[in-house]
Amino acid sequence: MNYSDLVEQIFAKKSFLCVGLDTDIQKIPQFLMGEEDPIFAFNKGIIDATAEFAVAFKPNLAFYEESFAYGLMSLKKTVDYIHQKYPEILVIADAKRGDIGNTSERYAKAMFSTLKADAVTVAPYMGMDSVEPFLKYNGKWVILLALTSNKGAEDFELMEDANGEMLFEKVLKTSQQWADENKMMYVVGATQAEMLADIRKIVPNHFLLVPGVGAQGGSLEKVAEYGMNDNCGLIVNSSRGIIYADTGRYYAEAAKEEAFLLQQRMLVLLEKIDR
Amino acid sequence: MNYSDLVEQIFAKKSFLCVGLDTDIQKIPQFLMGEEDPIFAFNKGIIDATAEFAVAFKPNLAFYEESFAYGLMSLKKTVDYIHQKYPEILVIADAKRGDIGNTSERYAKAMFSTLKADAVTVAPYMGMDSVEPFLKYNGKWVILLALTSNKGAEDFELMEDANGEMLFEKVLKTSQQWADENKMMYVVGATQAEMLADIRKIVPNHFLLVPGVGAQGGSLEKVAEYGMNDNCGLIVNSSRGIIYADTGRYYAEAAKEEAFLLQQRMLVLLEKIDR
């Protein structure tokens, strides 16, 4: 999927919602536990219920890795299902991978060729050659960590150099030499909404993947106020707030309702863009 | 495994060698391709051949993830095999994981409870709450990325603050507030051997995991000169130089020879320590 496909989808669906598939086997409704693959069955319910309101699905690798080979099979089935049934929707493998070049090559192959994700989150600590192997795939995206939504973001991401430039700003600037907005997006936490204005000065055209709305306490309207550009430029993720809106038999209906409510707020925000 | 167990093993074996199991299905000798699980069969050969000269094995997750569920099954069998046959040897899951707290919890569970690794490499970018979940496991280790062996290390790891303190130094200092040398080690690349002297001033007692000797061009003797402490304090990894020393029928014998040669050099270096 390329940049303009994504923009088109956003304005067609009037949504920039990403549904995070952080599927926890311990939170899956009891009635699904008899299924051959409860994780996949749960995801299928969420996907079918929310697809009309979402432009992206973001499975979080950790939740699948927890049950190891079994979990990865559920994940693969989930991604295949999305591609088959909703080919317009972006699949983001939230993996936070990154290693020396010859190792990142393997991670890129795992995420793009094997899993067939459209985008993968990558950690920038090890620099250019840890990111480049992910950039070699046509029509795929790297979503680089910049400013995250957690408390620990303060430990290193906000470190300042002698000119007052912070680490996450250096990541934004340096990485633009590696790829432009057609191949790269950035993770910027919603709990840091005010900082989005400064971030937009550095990356005016890039898409920003914004987690932290909902369970982590970020505000959608603030994110839009500070972070939106003429192409929207935002993908806002909600995981727990949607997929565990209800943990009983009607979990999918509850997820749909939550996704719909977010999409309705996004519709209002998108109408402010003059196209 | 605790700190003193590790030190004891090092001086008993007269080795601080870690054998990196970066097992590439495309480099496995032809005669193993008929096995039910060629990756596991290959690893078993390497493990049995090198165990007497090694204190640690370090499977690189990317190489297993590449073939997804199948690869993770081979990895699990590999780790189980090491624990059963060589219970004194440290198993390091080289995973470079790290995410917000509730996600890092899953990665920690995957690596420590499911895979049963003794140690896992963790990326520091997202700060304390991305690392802490890995520190909650008794008798397990976090090996935090500090200064890596790749070219890209220059992009961000060497960023300096107004006082001239570099990012990797901040990582070393800040993370000491999270855990001491009984729970934490650091990754320091061998290609940066001279910098080990300064690193030792910050972390005098910690073990350092040193990749980059061999294929990446680092020198074992320089690493020891600048990085060794009274407890050795080093685990030096070689992957490709050992496991692909020969790619034919005698790959295990060739790996054994390479591991033996490295161990012999380590023996000389360890004799310089006055115990």
CA dihedral B118→B124→B130→B132, nearest 10 degrees, is: 50
In chain B, what residues touch A148 (CB-CB under 8 Å)? 100, 125-126
- Which among B109, B98, B144 has a CA at the least distance from the CA of A65? B109
B62 to A104: CB separation less than 8 angstroms, yes or no: yes
pTM for this structure?
0.97
Query: CB distance from A171 to chain B under 8 Å?
Result: yes
Which chain B residue has the Cα nearest residue A216? B100
Q: A with B: how many residue pairs have Cβ under 8 Å apart?
A: 185
Rounded distance between C-alpha atoms, residue B149 and residue A44, angstroms = 42
Q: Do A125 and B157 touch (CB under 8 A)?
A: yes
What DSSP element (H or E) covers B20? Answer: strand B17-21
pLDDT-derived band at B1, boundaries 50, 70, 90? confident
Give residue B178's pLDDT.
Answer: 98
Chain B residues lying within 8 Å of A167, measured CB to CB: 156, 159, 167
Number of independent structural domains in chain B:
1
DSSP run (H or E) holding B262: helix B251-270
Residue A47 CA to residue A259 CA, distance in Å, equals 11
Residue B256 included in any domain: yes
Average pLDDT of each block of 10 consecutive residues along chain A (275 residues)? 96 98 96 97 98 98 96 98 98 98 97 98 98 97 96 97 97 98 94 87 97 76 95 96 95 98 96 89
**Which residues constitute the domain of residue A81?**
3-271
pLDDT at residue B217 in the model: 64
Q: What's the pLDDT at A217?
A: 64
Q: Which two tokens stand for residue A34?
A: 């008899």
In 3D, which of A60, A64, A25, A55 has the Cα closest to residue A42?
A25
Distance CA B123, CA B186 (A): 10
ipTM of the complex: 0.96
Residue of chain A nearest B121, judged by CA positions:
A99
CATH number at residue B110: 3.20.20.70
Closest in B72, B103, B128 to A69, CB measured: B72
Q: Which residue of B has its CA nearest to A169?
A: B156
Q: Is B275 domain-assigned?
A: no
User: Inter-chain contact A161–B160, Cβ cutoff 8 Å?
Assistant: yes
A103 interface with B at CB cutoff 8 Å = yes
Query: What's residue A264's pLDDT?
Result: 96
Q: Any chain B CB within 8 A of the CB of A110?
A: yes
B157 touches A: beta carbon within 8 Å: yes
B66-70, B130-134, B141-145, B249-253: segment of lowest average pLDDT? B66-70
Q: Residue A194's pLDDT is what?
A: 82
User: Among B142, B144, B145, which residue's Cα sits nearest to residue B157?
Assistant: B145
The size of chain B, in residues, is 275
